[in-house]
A and B are shown apart, each in its own frame.
Chain A
Amino acid sequence: MALLSIRDLRVEYTTARGTVAAIPEFSLEIGAGESFGLVGESGCGKSTLIMAIMGYMGRNGRVARGEILFEGRDLVRAGAEELRKVRGGRIAIVYQEPSTALNPSMTVGRQLMEVPIAHSGASNADARAQAARVLADVHLPDPDSVMRRYPHQLSGGQKQRVVIAMALLANPALLLLDEPTTGLDVTVEAAVLDLLNELRQKYGTALFYISHNLGVIAQVCDRIGVMYAGKLVEDAPAADLFAQPRHPYTRGLLGSLPRPGADKRTHPLVAIPGVVPSAGRAPDSCGFLTRCALARPGLCDAAPVPLLATTPTHLVRCARWQDLPDSIAAADPAAASVAVPDSEIVMQARDVSRVFAVGKRRLIANDRLTLAAKRGHVLAIVGESGSGKSTFAKVLAGLDAATSGTLTVLGDDVATQPVRKRSATKVAAVQMVFQNPDGTLNPSHSVGYPLTRALKKFGIAHDRKTLDARVAALLDMVRLPPSLRHALPRQLSGGQKQRIAIARAFAGNPELLVADEPVSALDVSVQAAVINLLLRIQAEQQTTLVFISHDLGLVRYLADEVVVMYLGQVMESGPVASLFDPPYHPYTEALLSAVPVPDPTIRTTRIRLEGEIPSPLNVPPGCRFATRCPRKLGAVCETMPPPARDADNDHVIHCHIPLERLRQTEPVFRHAS
């Protein structure tokens, strides 16, 4: 018998506009000890499903039909007391945001001890011993000291480990994970995923893992379900799904992701057109109908499509699965730009430092950065949070000023010139796209306002007629209808807001565009569309793009040159191709090995960094990376700044390890043969 069996589930919400079926029909079985992953964009009903299983739907939600059988008991019809025993006991849940899952006013130990005390009536001493044991199991160093600490004294990754420990304390049969690594750095994410795999072996717990990231799911799950518009559209063993995705939506999701080794010229990303329909607005027949390039009238819109078995284990909800073409053509082939020729340097940073005074101490955010960007090229700056990438982006755009060093942009040194001191043409020439789509537009003004205002301030258009024409042209450039200029930001989706932000940045015809994680807050399919758009405009206008990201998969795809930063310093820099093959800087190697690869046939070297990135208030004296480096040579790394080793062709590695030894490193990504 299956551990969890959801049969014909329908979840409805009562809203001001009537009853909406967030999940129209859903069936699923998860066996004991199985690891099942559910993917889909936001708004597909994944979290609603979790809430229905836990019985947390709020006052306006209800299960209208169907049953959720867990260990033979129907959770939908269970009483409050029965549910309370199941929740936290037999089923545990780990949410996305670890900082809100823990009570800030209680020590970690106290919160952990509550679980055995509440669920098995354990004594204080017994509960303490159990708590210490699971903390050791989730590899938190020094469990006794962790138990005495409050949540704010732990890092994000540590808090998530505590939450996982808490979930495991009651020895649950099923662990629900709702995007547990989404807010974490890629290195921390990799370590948490390793931990989940290890704990699953040890405890035999079944996992129900929800994510929008196929790469993450591929690391943890044996079986993957794809959810769209509240329905399961595909369900297959992980290897099958990646090797032979059947449903056009699954293919769309995979096409939106950069594959390892692929770049923008050889394998352009293919975005899924349109957006996820809001709950209850998807067509009854096939929910994906409105966004599917392969939909056939008369067949796909005729009747509700059932889940069809292509093999005994591979189910797909597509009326055309047998006669689908092998590949889906690129909808936006313009993204595939030609190779850029070598060109002059438009931005050259030399020894740029940004030091903040914190009381009497010095916070070193950027430490003697030296890097350059060429006209029409994409320069990516990567590193974990806290590496100083965003500080440099701000200095470059003029939102902050460097403490020392020179930053030459189009011939002038602007290192200590914030926007107010720069000339109008210089300000127009260096523009920026920000990370957070919700903060990027002023909620009080229409979408057209920042565009009109930028055109006026940069002296590009003054009279109403030219302004209107230019705004329409900008909106068209980012593929938005001209009518949208009168809309308010709250009426736009995240992807649309980022498009407006891109249009705004290009209003003054910039020479250099700084993009600080412009897509990290967006869904994968939207990410692909926005990236394609950005690269198309960048290539057309020969703009230099400085792309700040923590996502090495994306960087591999779009960059021409890459700079790897750690704790305010450059660790490695060079052309993109040279960076992803040995010789690597040990930090780059660790970052690469942490990338969740959406392809189970690729084997990745497993390198996990110990500890946390040190505080920029207290930087290590020698190599910045020495405290966490898995290949540290010895005292020399801790005391001497590393030499710059010129690998070849502008590829520079700052490391004490001789190049010959770095060259002998095995590649991080290998095809399993």
Chain B
Amino acid sequence: MSASVAAETAGRATPALWRRLPNSPVAMVGLAIVLFWVVLAIAAPLLPLASPNALDYMAMRQPFSSAKHWLGVDPLGRDLLSRIVWGGRTVLEVAPIAVLVAYTVGCTMGLLAGYYRGWVDAAISRASDVILSFPVVVLYVILIANIGPSAVNIVVAVVVASAPGIARIVRGLVLSLTHQEFVAAAYLRRESDVFVMLVELLPNCRGPLITDFCLRLGYTTITIGTLGFLGLGLPPPNPDWGGMVKQATSMITVFPHMALYPTFALVSLILGFNLLADGITELSQAD
């Protein structure tokens, strides 16, 4: 008996998701792009870069690539490469924090709605519907215009806009999971509601949530770029990819590189997150 148990057990084990990631080329490309930006962001203070806010008036006359400024300078004579690297650092700090906070709020809402149902569900779901009925950009503009542009307020805006979507996913999963017998078994151990929600239900939502997390990182990167472009991002002189594009638009016909380089940066990071999400979906469907 024990021999057959061992054989059977060994034969059917599926390794954890992160171990299987190399099986998906798409996921690996996405991961490589994301890691490229992460490494640059972490290493930014160590790299021999000019200060992102240092003005080089002499470079203004010839703002294209040069030995001193590899990617050229922006309309104020600041080094583009340095601003892109430091700007990436901002995005990679703000986006994950915003998404994590949104997840905390969204999962809590979804768990409460799906678990308690009744009026709790009605209140949470209707409130979510109201928020989701706004076009996202309009919502951001209204929020930031009212509370003022800052890193903290970007996080607040992202949480308000994303949490209802996350709550909806979690609620749906919890609704079906609560009928499972392992939840009844937990009640028969006198587990508390909080324990059932966090330990029995939430871990079983992780499959769809991991994919959604990567996608949402991409969306949030777009959001931060959009807000910067609309002048609602980080207040100047902080390097901010969206803000850099905005500053360069007035002279885009003369000096297109000033807008193109930060746009490439933005696009590549978003693509990285999306490819990673695609790859993870592919791997979880192959199970």
Contacts and interface: CB of A to CB of B under 8 A. Distances in A.
Given A483-B6, A484-B5, A487-B9, A431 B180 contact: no
Nearest to B191: A457
Interface in A481-512: 481, 483-484, 487-488, 490-493, 496, 501, 504
Nearest to A419: B187
A148 interface: no
Interface string A423-459: 0100100011011100111111100001001100110
12 contacts: A290-B4, A427-B189, A435-B181, A439-B180, A442-B200, A442-B203, A442-B204, A450-B185, A457-B189, A457-B190, A487-B9, A490-B14
Given A427-B188, A432-B188, A440 B182 contact: yes
Contact of B190 (A273, A275, A424, A490): A424
Contacts of A444: 203-204, 206
A458 B189 contact: yes
B2 interface: yes
A481 B5 contact: yes
A454 B5 CA distance: 24
B188 A398 contact: yes
Contacts of A493: 8
A650 B49 CA distance: 93
A630 interface: no
A441 B188 contact: no
A397 interface: yes
Interface of B: 1-2, 4-6, 8-9, 11-14, 180-182, 184-185, 187-191, 199-200, 203-204, 206
A201 B4 CA distance: 46
A278 interface: yes
Contact of A454 (B6, B13, B189, B206): B189
Interface residues of A, number: 44
Contacts of A480: 5
A399 interface: yes
B8 A436 contact: no
A95 to B, nearest CB: 25
Given A443-B204, A491-B13, A419 B1 contact: no
With most chain A CB atoms within 10 A of its CB, the pick from B4, B9, B185, B199 is B185
B50 to A, nearest CB: 49
A399 B191 CA distance: 13
A504 B187 CA distance: 13
Contacts of A484: 5, 9
Interface string A407-419: 0000000000001
Given A419-B190, A445-B203, A490-B14, A504 B185 contact: yes
B1 A274 contact: yes
Contacts of A483: 6
B107 to A, nearest CB: 15
Contacts of A481: 1-2, 5-6
A434 B181 CA distance: 7
A55 to B, nearest CB: 26
Given A442-B200, A490-B14, A275 B4 contact: yes
Contact of A427 (B6, B14, B181, B190): B190
Contacts of A445: 199, 203
Contact of B184 (A427, A432, A453): A432
A454 B182 CA distance: 12
A130 to B, nearest CB: 42
A479 interface: yes
Given A440-B182, A457-B189, 12 more contacts: A420-B187, A431-B188, A439-B180, A439-B181, A441-B182, A445-B199, A453-B191, A457-B191, A484-B5, A484-B9, A488-B13, A501-B185
Chain A interface secondary structure, helix, strand, loop or mixed?
A: loop
A290 B11 CA distance: 17
A527 B254 CA distance: 80
Contacts of A492: 9
Contacts of B200: 442
A397 B189 CA distance: 11
Contacts of B188: 397-399, 419, 427, 431-432
A211 to B, nearest CB: 24
Contacts of B6: 481, 483
A496 B185 CA distance: 17
A442 B1 contact: no
Interface in A366-405: 397-399
Nearest to A488: B13
A662 to B, nearest CB: 39
A436 B181 contact: yes
Contacts of B203: 442, 444-445
Contact of A399 (B184, B189, B199): B184
A564 to B, nearest CB: 25
Contacts of A487: 9
Contacts of B14: 490
Nearest to B190: A427
A294 B100 CA distance: 61
Interface in A347-374: none
Contact of B4 (A274, A419, A434, A439): A274
B184 A278 contact: no
A506 B182 CA distance: 15
A443 B13 CA distance: 13
A455 B180 CA distance: 22
Nearest to A493: B8
A278 B182 contact: no
Given A419-B187, A424-B190, A490-B14, A439 B182 contact: yes
A596 to B, nearest CB: 28
Interface in A277-335: 278, 281, 290
Contacts of B11: 278, 281
A453 B195 CA distance: 12
Contacts of A490: 12, 14
B1, B181, B191, B199 interface centre (most CB from chain A within 10 Å): B181
Nearest to B183: A442
Contacts of A397: 188
A273 B185 CA distance: 28
Contacts of A420: 187, 190
A552 to B, nearest CB: 24
A53 to B, nearest CB: 28
Nearest to B11: A278
Contacts of A281: 11
A450 B182 contact: yes
A399 B187 contact: yes
A440 B4 contact: no
A440 B186 CA distance: 10
Contact of A479 (B1, B4, B12, B199): B1
Nearest to A454: B189
Contacts of A432: 184-185, 188
A454 B204 CA distance: 20
A491 B12 contact: yes
A420 B180 CA distance: 19
B87 to A, nearest CB: 39
Please indicate which of the listed interface residues B6, B14, B190, B204 has the most CB atoms of chain A within 10 Å of its own CB: B190
Given A397-B188, A427-B190, A440 B204 contact: no
Contacts of A399: 184, 187-188
A94 B189 CA distance: 43
Contacts of A453: 189, 191
A278 B11 CA distance: 9
Contacts of B182: 439-442, 450
A399 B183 CA distance: 10
Nearest to B192: A420
A453 B204 CA distance: 18
Contacts of B184: 399, 432, 434
Contacts of A434: 181, 184-185
Contacts of A431: 188
The winner among B5, B181, B188, B199 for most chain A CB atoms within 10 A is B188
A434 B185 CA distance: 9
What are the 8 tightest A-B residue pairs by CB atom distance, in nearest-first order? A444-B203, A434-B181, A439-B181, A481-B2, A442-B182, A439-B180, A457-B189, A440-B181
